[in-house]
Structures are given as structure tokens and as C-alpha cells.
Amino acid sequence: MNSQIYNLGCLAIVDAKLDELDDEYGELPLEIKDKSEKLAVLKKNAAETQRILVDLRKFTHESRTTIVLLKEKEENLGKKQFQVKNNKEFDAITKEIEHIRTEYNKIVEELRSTGLKEENLSSILATQTKESFESENELKALQEELEFIQNDQQDELKRLRKIKKEYITAISDANKIDYDRIRGMFKDSVVMIKRNSCSGCFSSLPPQKIVEIRNNLDTIYHCENCGRIVYPEDMIDRDSVI
């Protein structure tokens, strides 16, 4: 059975390779997230404009019906005015006609400003729809790029994850926790001793310490300067790990 330090060193090599693959994505995942959020806002705004437009068109339709009715009412009252028997009735009808005309003019005025509003909103909606469409296409292109990398990496990822699992299974829970803790600070949490120094922070290790590490492969040693786990240079044949 291989020592804990050996398995930790191998795990670090596999993780470094996985990090390398992850780096191929660059800013892509962030860009996709950003673009998706922006697209959602654009779509929400367009839907809101659309909703207001529907309301306006409903109002226009109802108002047009109302002015037709008012016009009919006015005509009927006009006819009735010729059949009145006295001035009092005549005046009452005149007053009613005046009221209808005021109402009629008011609605016509409202329709005019609604028409302008509708025109403006239609143009805003056209812009919003165009922006949504463009944004959607940009997002699609980014997603395709991501998919391309994913397909490209699929086999390699599968292979590396399988290897990683084997090393992880061989590492104790305590050492795994230690490894993850250091990974939180340094991506390369387990490093080899190179030219008598920690290859993570390059601070040198006392010769007697190096001898001790070499002779006690069942003990985990940390670099006193940076805290990374260190192992003897010739302990791992990198090519055999991945």
C-alpha cells in the first residue's frame, strides 16, 4: 500500500491537471452567467412594454366604441329637440347635448394622446425585442463555445476523475480535510522539495529536516514557511500518476 504522502502528492498532480482543463474555460462561465442575467432583464422589460401596449389598445378600442355611441345619442337628442313642447324641455335637451359634446371631446383628446403613447411604446418595444434577440444570439454563441470545450475535454475529464477517485479513496479523512484546507489558500497544496526548498514558496528546508522527511514517509510534513505539504523530490514519477 502506498503511503499517505504519496497519495496526497498524486492527488495534487491530478488536481493540477484538472485545474488546467478548467482554465481553458477562462471567463466563459462568468460571461454566460452575466449575459443570461442581462437577457432576463431585457425580456422582462419587453414583456412589461407589451403589457402596457395591450392595455392601451384595449382602451383605444373601448373609447372608439364609446364615441360612436355618444355621436348616436347626440343625433337622437337633436331630433328630439324638434319635437319638444316647451322651452324648458328644449333647454334640458340642449344641456344634455352640451354634456355629451364635452364628453365626446374629452375622449377624442385622450385618444389623440393615447395614439402618441402607443407610437412611442411600439418603437420602444421594437428596440427591446431587437436587443433581446441580439443578446439571445450572443448567449447562444457563448454556450456553444462552452459546449465545444466540454465535448473536447469529456474523455480526459472522465479519465482524470476516475484516477482522482482512486487516490482520494486511499487518503484518510483527516488528511483529506488538511488537503482541502490548504487548497483553499494554494491551488498547489502538496509540492515536492526541489533543490532543498519547498517548490511552492521557494523557502529552503534544513538538510536534517529533508532527511527526516525522506525517512518517514508515513508522516505528513508541512513547509514551515507556507504550510504546504511537502514530499521528497524523487518520491513520485509524475508520468505514472496521470
Q: Indicate the DSSP class of residue 235.
A: S
Closer CB to Zn ion, 171 or 198, in the complex = 198
Asked if residue 210 binds Zn ion (CB under 5 A), the reply is no
- Residues ≥6 apart with Cβ < 8 Å to 222: 228, 229, 230
Closer CB to Zn ion, 10 or 198, in the complex = 198
Distance of CA 123 to the CA centre of its chain: 28
Query: Which parts of 190-209 interact with Zn ion (CB under 5 A)?
Result: 198, 200-201
Q: What would the DSSP string read from start to end of 118-183?
A: HHHHHHHHHHHHHHHHHHHHHHHHHHHHHHHHHHHHHHHHHHHHHHHHHHHHHS-HHHHHHHHHHH
Closer CB to Zn ion, 153 or 197, in the complex = 197
Rounded CA-CA distance 46/40 in Å is 10
Shortest Å distance, C-beta 2 to Zn ion: 23
Shortest Å distance, C-beta 206 to Zn ion: 13
- Do residues 133 and 39 touch, judged by C-beta distance below 8 A? no
Shortest Å distance, C-beta 30 to Zn ion: 31
Which of 163, 223, 229, 236 is the binder for Zn ion (CB under 5 A)?
223
Shortest Å distance, C-beta 34 to Zn ion: 36
Shortest Å distance, C-beta 169 to Zn ion: 28
Interface positions with Zn ion (CB under 5 A): 198, 200-201, 223, 225-226, 228
